[in-house]
Structure 1
Amino acid sequence: MRQESFDFLQKYLNNSSPTGFESEGQKLWLEYVKPYIDEYFVDTYGTVVGVINPQAEYKVVIEAHADEISWFVNYITPEGYIYLKRNGGSDALIAPSKRVNIYTAKGIVKAVFGWPAIHVRKVENDKAPTIETVFLDCGASNREEVEKMGIHVGCVATFEDEFIVMNDRYYVGRALDNRIGGFMIAEVARQLKENGNQLPFGLYIVNSVQEEIGLRGAEMIAHRIKPDVAIITDVTHDTQSPMYDKKNSGDIHCGKGPVIAYGPAVQNNVRDLIIRTAQEKEIPFQRSAVSRATGTDTDAFAYSNAGVASALISLPLKYMHTTVETVHKDDVDNVIKMIYETILKIQDKQDFRYLT
């Protein structure tokens, strides 16, 4: 990976982008992608769209989501401890002993998830942490001190952990789900520009908000763009580490390539174009079955308007919704290559319908 791309990746992943509060991360993403697009627009809730060939009638989308799981301040005790609500799929089980940033009008306030020591708990009756039992300590002695720091009900908190490269093989950090996707689609735009590719259609590079609470940003922007084709990228579970059931979750490996999804929301002809492209360009790939819904922004695009020919390319990821989400560097490169090469195969006004 070139140094400029790596620097952006690191900066972008280290920035917080909680669901509903993605604007600072979106500014970073837009600043990076601007040189590679013709124009851009944003919607009311913060989704950012870079456009190549905006005058074209036929529209192709490549999309990722920008938001990360987080927490809302929900209740401050008289003693100054803070209880929370989830914002997305935040996991109370991993919270104890984690450091967090609480975002206030006065700036970031540091806090920690406190937890009693093992030797003062009744271990034989120990229960796993839950959203009702985890709490934040920001060093205040009472509620009034907490409020003087600028903390109030509705403030958002994110884990503090930052991006690392592990043993020159894996990218590790919080919020790879799915800002690594935003990075990958930005790299596709860069390569199209730097390689001088002239597309016969309009390409919409979409970094959506609010996926973690139900695909909301994608739903909104799909109705605005009204694309003809959409290629979505998100993460999926590597199932090799302990506690996964391959019979239910499939046999997916980090390092063995992007994952191409099969399911009702996935348009078969678009999926097959991706597969043929991967085979021709010798891009390794894996397959997954997603049944009723993909659980990704693919569903929002596929079922928008009169139906959009949509497909899903997933990046294998370990330890989803933790602070050590882990992806293989080769898979990142191959997702970028797969989307890039597929874009070059799509023809202007290509008809992906099953019956004509």
Structure 2
Amino acid sequence: MLDAGAAARLSRGRQARMPNTPRVFLSYAREDRALVDALARDLRHLKCEPIFDEQLTGGQAWWDRLLDGIEQSDALLPVLSTSYVDSNPCRVEAAYAHALGKPILPIAVETVSTGLLANYLAEVQWVNYDPEAREALVDLVLGIQNLPACPPLPSPLPDRPAVPISYMTNLKQQIESTEDLTRAEQLVLLDQLKEKLGGPDDAIARSLLRGLQGRSDVTVRVANEITELIGAPPAPEAAPQSLPSTQWVPRDAPTVTPVTPPPSWPPPPSPVPMPRSEPWTTGVFIGLILASLFAAGIFGIVFGAVNRKDEGKRQQATALMWIGIAVLILVIVVGVAGGFEPRSK
């Protein structure tokens, strides 16, 4: 018994089609998208209906649409290139078309070794394609005309393959893993993503680099290299400030004047200011200096007067006494002339 989905796909595959208008499924790698667009235009000019993935998004719905296109097609046209050989989704598409019995016409856009391909691709006739060479269209027309008729879809239909894990998906899983990445693993991821910048996967590579840059275990070297490649991470957005709540008032509502309560009597006593300690001023320091000089002068006079009677110390005692007298006179003059200015409060 067929399930509803398989029966619907089987009926679609057996629907009558326009004569001489084959529906061909183009299987290609995203790096060859420009060539595939040119090939699709030439196929339409040749009265063919190309079916191919024009979105390259991903996910289950995307994969189901691709498998629908293979089932509804009259032939599979794999666009062979080095990128095609490395593409896991392309290999799965070709294997499913082969399981359905679809005729296969490989379109070579680059030199590819047959040893890298499955037998059902390597052992059939290839067609070389170059959008700039018009003679390639002749080979393309002959190749499509020589394709065998597409048989009916098998019953029951083979199991549909699961969504393939692409190369970029593997990198994404590593970066989003909760396990710590070693320094060597981070450097390998960085090198692999750097190679994708500027190519068809540029946007995906930048997004994955930003994810690697935001990991808590990222090393300083890797973070700095990512900053040089795509810039510093964006600053976190500031939390929106809450607006004050407002109460709706009807337009025709009467205006209410707030009533101010009367002041209490007697008024509360004013606080008594506490005395504050006055900082030392310049006058205090000058006073201390003058007091020290005054004491030194008195000491010089007393010491000189006492030791003048000693013949050996008379000369030094006289000099010290006169120095003391001079210091006293200086202190008196400074005190009288300058004085101490009273401080304003």
- Normalising to structure 2: TM-score of the pair? 0.23
- Higher helix proportion, which one? 2
Q: TM-score, normalised by structure 1?
A: 0.22
